[in-house]
Chains A and B, each alone.
Chain A
Amino acid sequence: MNSESSPTLYTVIITGLRSGANKASIADGIARIVKNMDAARVLRKLDALPWTMTRKASRKNAERLSKYLLKIACDVQVVPPLDIPISDDMGETQILPQTSLLTESQVISSTQFVPVPEQAERADATSEGTPPPPPPPPPTAPPKQDERPATVLEPLSLTGILDQTFQICRNRFWKLLAIAAIPYCIMIALIILAGITALILGLTDMNSIDDFTPALVIAGIFLIPTAFVVIIALFSLSQGALIFAVSVSYLGRQINVRESYNFVFARLAKFILTSLLFTIMILLSFTVAVTIGIVLFFVFQAFTSSGWWSAFSWLPLTMIPFYVTLKLFLFDKIVIIENVAYMSALSRSWNLLSGEAAGSWPRGYALRLFLLTLLFTLIAVTISWVFQTPAALLTAFLPLPEFAKTVLSQLIGTVGSLIATVFAAVCMVVFYYDVRNRKEGFDLQILAEMTSDTISNE
């Protein structure tokens, strides 16, 4: 029942045109089902029949193609022959203009028939005494591309964004997890190194610490800020690499862990400084909310029995920093993907999340982001539940020392949060592209550019 692609590949040849057939309209019809081949090119092929259209058609495509060709008045030969008469239900064959049966690479320009590999082997086996034909030239290496299904670039609904998120996570799970896990691994390595150093220096004995106090204070002055900077750099790097990797994956290319980190490394300073600006903007909006709250307190005190009546306005006021955070939420994607940094990145994020999307509710971009965050929180809770529950059961029932139990639950908890981090990154990148597809027609731009390149190459 499930007709996955059959192993046999079929060759479809146009051997002639029926008498009275209009060559131009046939060319027109064929051009519609072959990607990137216009009617003029097809017409040239039809002038030099027979034309082997493809040798790489699956059974289903060979059937559909031959039915279609027969319908538009071509004489067709399929090799190996299809076991059902292909003209049976010709009348029902309908190929929509969006349906490309063949890509340009599948179309064979040669007019000479070459048997498909299976046939060639059979011919070899039956012909005794004749020397075997020279081996066919090795097939040219296919262009490096993803073997897994990639995403479709087009505007999505909220559920569509979640679907894409799950799809990308599933297809690239281990690589994305590896990218997110690297800073954690480095942190663990550093902790182990610090522990070994402490053991060597004998710092584990609390009584001997008094002798080292001045040295420890000096080390602390340098070490704590250094550690702080290293942690920020590491996690920013990881976050950026994750954004890059998801973006690359979303656009249908393969992910490379090293390439992702290298790419972000060049933009790390911009990324960290823009993150700092983002934090400052949030703090500023918080300060504005607090200031308005204080002013309202005094206003209420002056006009009512108590200034505490102003507490009713506090809830709406908390929305100010929340709203600002939401509107600036895409800044990290903008820095990494578009190489736009600092205030420009923040203002671009603000602009991108202004306005309304077409289609059904929710239409506001900021509201869509808010709802998406809520939905994602639900998923994150489920993911953490998936990891925390077994961890709790293991630590409760396994006869392990207290230290081992702590390490085990921490480890499982970290894996859970890593997975949630990956999901969040994917979800937000998909959302970012969705906004760009809707507001800027990013998908249409890519489509237009892709085929423009093909045209210029012709």
Chain B
Amino acid sequence: MKEKVKTIEIDTPDHGELRFQFAGIGTRMIAYLIDKFIQIGVLLGIVSILAIMLFLAGQMGHFIEILSKAVQSLGLWSIAIAILFYGIASVGYFLFFEYFWNGATPGKKFQKIRVIRKDGLPMSFADSVVRNTLRIIDILGEMYPVGLIVMFCDFHNRRVGDLAAGTLVIEDHETSVLPILRMPAETSETFEVNSLVARMNAEDYVLVAKFLSRRNELDVQHRTQLAENISRRILKRTTGFGADFDHEAFLESIEVLYRGRTREL
């Protein structure tokens, strides 16, 4: 089992290093759906409010009359204008949010992703215009067929707009520390916990920390079994333990001790 996630490393001019994880296609799809729902909701809201206002002002009939006359005189052009208006509203939504909201739209914000330039800098307005104008090609028929194919074929999950504008969509997660739910119980002095901790390596620590942070979700049988397995793994290097040994309390102790030692280092 290899543990590798899709990341990009960007070297900054001051020899720093930025590492970003690409947003997955699924994440981007959900973000787009959320944005779409917001757009449709806002459009419906505006239309409803206008309708209510016209109705209350007694101008609804007059408005419909004007509208039907306009549609009759324009013919098929009226449909083209409506599509154009919808396109501008749709593209404008993304353009506005991505430029003024650090590369994120409400959908992207919800999914904790954002758009950056491939050199790690924020998008310029021109980038945003290119990226979002080409969305028209990506979303052909509102189904995202072209975008889906291109993202599927591109190793960095970029759609046509991203390729043209030189942008990337990255995950914007803040580094989170694995939560430990309880303070450690008193450590049994039967075991030389400190020497055990000194013998632990990073992999042991990750395993213990992951187990402790997720144990409440595990079913009882697997939780007990796993705690025992992990304890065995760590204790195997020195000594054994009795039948009444509290594996979880032991793991809690060594997790905290290991973290403490790492901080000192």
CB-nearest residue of chain B to A32: B202
B247 sits at the interface (CB 8 A): no
A126 sits at the interface (CB 8 A): no
Q: Is the interface of A mostly helix, strand, loop or mixed?
A: helix
Q: Is the CB of B265 within 8 A of A2?
A: no
B69 sits at the interface (CB 8 A): no
- Chain B residues within 8 Å of A455, by CB: 233, 236-237
Q: Is the CB of A100 within 8 A of B237?
A: no
- Chain A residues within 8 Å of B10, by CB: 1-3
B211 sits at the interface (CB 8 A): yes
B65 sits at the interface (CB 8 A): no
- Chain B residues within 8 Å of A31, by CB: 199-201
Chain B window 106-117, contacts with chain A (Cβ cutoff 8 Å), 1 for yes, 0 for no: 000001000000
Query: Which residues of chain B in 108-154 are interfacial with respect to chain A, using CB atoms and an 8 Å cutoff?
Result: 111, 118-120, 141, 143-145, 148-149, 152-153
Distance in Å: Cβ of A252 to nearest Cβ of chain B: 4
Chain A window 379-403, contacts with chain B (Cβ cutoff 8 Å), 1 for yes, 0 for no: 1011101100100000000000000
CB-nearest residue of chain A to B30: A159
Query: Which residues of chain B in 167-214 are interfacial with respect to chain A, using CB atoms and an 8 Å cutoff?
Result: 198-207, 210-211, 214
CB-nearest residue of chain B to A31: B201
- Chain A residues within 8 Å of B56, by CB: none
Q: Is the CB of B226 within 8 A of A97?
A: no
Q: Is the CB of A441 within 8 A of B214?
A: yes
Q: Is the CB of A25 within 8 A of B265?
A: yes
Distance in Å: Cβ of A399 to nearest Cβ of chain B: 26
Q: Is the CB of A98 within 8 A of B202?
A: yes
- Given that A40-B199, A97-B262, A441-B222 are contacting pairs, would A3 and B27 also be in contact in the complex, using a CB cutoff of 8 Å? no
Q: Is the CB of B219 within 8 A of A166?
A: no
Q: Is the interface of B mostly helix, strand, loop or mixed?
A: helix
B244 sits at the interface (CB 8 A): no
A186 sits at the interface (CB 8 A): no
- Given that A60-B17, A441-B226 are contacting pairs, would A448 and B219 also be in contact in the complex, using a CB cutoff of 8 Å? no
Q: Is the CB of A159 within 8 A of B145?
A: no
**Complex formed: what's the CA distance from A306 to B206 in Å?**
66
**Complex formed: what's the CA distance from A329 to B78 in Å?**
49
A84 sits at the interface (CB 8 A): yes
**Complex formed: what's the CA distance from A140 to B23 in Å?**
37
Chain B window 249-265, contacts with chain A (Cβ cutoff 8 Å), 1 for yes, 0 for no: 00000000011011001
- Chain B residues within 8 Å of A381, by CB: 143
**Complex formed: what's the CA distance from A389 to B232 in Å?**
59
Chain A window 23-49, contacts with chain B (Cβ cutoff 8 Å), 1 for yes, 0 for no: 011001101111111111000000000
A305 sits at the interface (CB 8 A): no
- Given that A38-B199, A379-B29, A439-B218 are contacting pairs, would A444 and B211 also be in contact in the complex, using a CB cutoff of 8 Å? yes
Chain A window 124-156, contacts with chain B (Cβ cutoff 8 Å), 1 for yes, 0 for no: 000000000000000000000110011011110
A375 sits at the interface (CB 8 A): yes
CB-nearest residue of chain B to A98: B206
Query: Could you say which of A159, A251, A252, A451 contacts B24, with CB atoms under 8 Å apart?
Result: A159
Distance in Å: Cβ of A443 to nearest Cβ of chain B: 8
- Chain A residues within 8 Å of B6, by CB: 149, 167
A288 sits at the interface (CB 8 A): no
Distance in Å: Cβ of A92 to nearest Cβ of chain B: 9
- Chain B residues within 8 Å of A378, by CB: 29, 33
B58 sits at the interface (CB 8 A): no
Q: Is the CB of A451 within 8 A of B203?
A: yes
Q: Is the CB of A35 within 8 A of B202?
A: yes
- Given that A162-B30, A385-B141, A451-B233 are contacting pairs, would A32 and B201 also be in contact in the complex, using a CB cutoff of 8 Å? yes
Q: Is the CB of B211 within 8 A of A100?
A: no
- Chain B residues within 8 Å of A259, by CB: none
Question: Count of chain A residues with Cβ under 8 Å from any Cβ of B?
Answer: 75
CB-nearest residue of chain B to A358: B217
**Complex formed: what's the CA distance from A161 to B218 in Å?**
19
Query: Could you say which of A162, A439, A446 contacts B27, with CB atoms under 8 Å apart?
Result: A162
Q: Is the CB of A145 within 8 A of B202?
A: no
Q: Is the CB of B11 within 8 A of A445?
A: no
A447 sits at the interface (CB 8 A): yes
Q: Is the CB of B203 within 8 A of A382?
A: no
- Chain A residues within 8 Å of B153, by CB: 170
Q: Is the CB of A145 within 8 A of B199?
A: no
CB-nearest residue of chain A to B206: A98
CB-nearest residue of chain B to A450: B1
- Counting chain A CB atoms within 10 Å of each CB, the highest count among B25, B118, B200, B205 belongs to B25
- Chain A residues within 8 Å of B210, by CB: 154, 444, 447
- Given that A150-B4, A441-B211 are contacting pairs, would A159 and B27 also be in contact in the complex, using a CB cutoff of 8 Å? yes
Query: Which residues of chain B in 23-45 are interfacial with respect to chain A, using CB atoms and an 8 Å cutoff?
Result: 24-27, 29-30, 33
Q: Is the CB of A146 within 8 A of B2?
A: yes
- Chain B residues within 8 Å of A153, by CB: 1
A425 sits at the interface (CB 8 A): no
**Complex formed: what's the CA distance from A89 to B12 in Å?**
14
Distance in Å: Cβ of B146 to nearest Cβ of chain A: 9
Distance in Å: Cβ of B162 to nearest Cβ of chain A: 15
A117 sits at the interface (CB 8 A): no
- Chain B residues within 8 Å of A28, by CB: 198, 261, 265
CB-nearest residue of chain B to A153: B1
B216 sits at the interface (CB 8 A): yes
In the complex, 14 of the A-B residue pairs with CB atoms within 8 angstroms, ordered by the A residue number, are A29-B265, A33-B202, A38-B201, A39-B199, A97-B262, A158-B26, A169-B152, A382-B143, A386-B149, A389-B145, A441-B226, A448-B233, A449-B229, A450-B1
Given contacts A161-B26, A379-B148, 9 further A-B contacts (CB under 8 A): A3-B10, A31-B200, A35-B201, A89-B15, A251-B1, A382-B144, A445-B229, A451-B233, A455-B236
Q: Which residues of B contact A (CB under 8 A)?
A: 1-6, 8-11, 15, 17, 24-27, 29-30, 33, 111, 118-120, 141, 143-145, 148-149, 152-153, 198-207, 210-211, 214, 216-219, 222-223, 226, 229-230, 232-233, 236-237, 258-259, 261-262, 265
